[in-house]
Amino acid sequence: DQQVKQNSPSLSVQEGRISILNCDYTNSMFDYFLWYKKYPAEGPTFLISISSIKDKNEDGRFTVFLNKSAKHLSLHIVPSQPGDSAVYFCAARGVTGNQFYFGTGTSLTVIP
């Protein structure tokens, strides 16, 4: 059973515009949510995270929003740059601290 879902396998955005990547989860006991960025043939890179007690976390061009009632989080990238083109994974941490559940990824393409 997929506890973390990314329903959009791909997204294309014009350079300079906003990219919005979405993620849904089913388990209300997750305590942290994370976004990772992955280039082909490389390991994922940690991007940004948010605690379940917050609804927004911002780091430069990246902002993550958490809507606990909807069990939904999103990653906003503004402005989008061609170097942002990669696969983005959202992940949720279980309360034991050692279980992480990953979504299937969204491939973002930023068009120059």
Partner 1 sequence: GAVVSQHPSWVICKSGTSVKIECRSLDFQATTMFWYRQFPKQSLMLMATSNEGSKATYEQGVEKDKFLINHASLTLSTLTVTSAHPEDSSFYICSAKGTARYEQYFGPGTRLTVT
Cα 94 to Cα 104: distance, rounded to the nearest angstrom: 17
Any contact of residue 100 with partner 1 (CB under 8 A)? Answer: yes
The one segment of 11-19, 63-71, 73-81, 89-97 that binds partner 1 by CB under 8 A:
89-97
Instruction: Specify whether the backbone of 70 is left (phi greater than 0), alpha (psi in -120 to 50) or beta.
Output: alpha
Any contact of residue 69 with partner 1 (CB under 8 A)? Answer: no
Q: Which residue has the tokens 């305590």?
A: 31
| Closer of 49 and 74 to partner 1 (Cβ) | 49
Any contact of residue 53 with partner 1 (CB under 8 A)? Answer: no
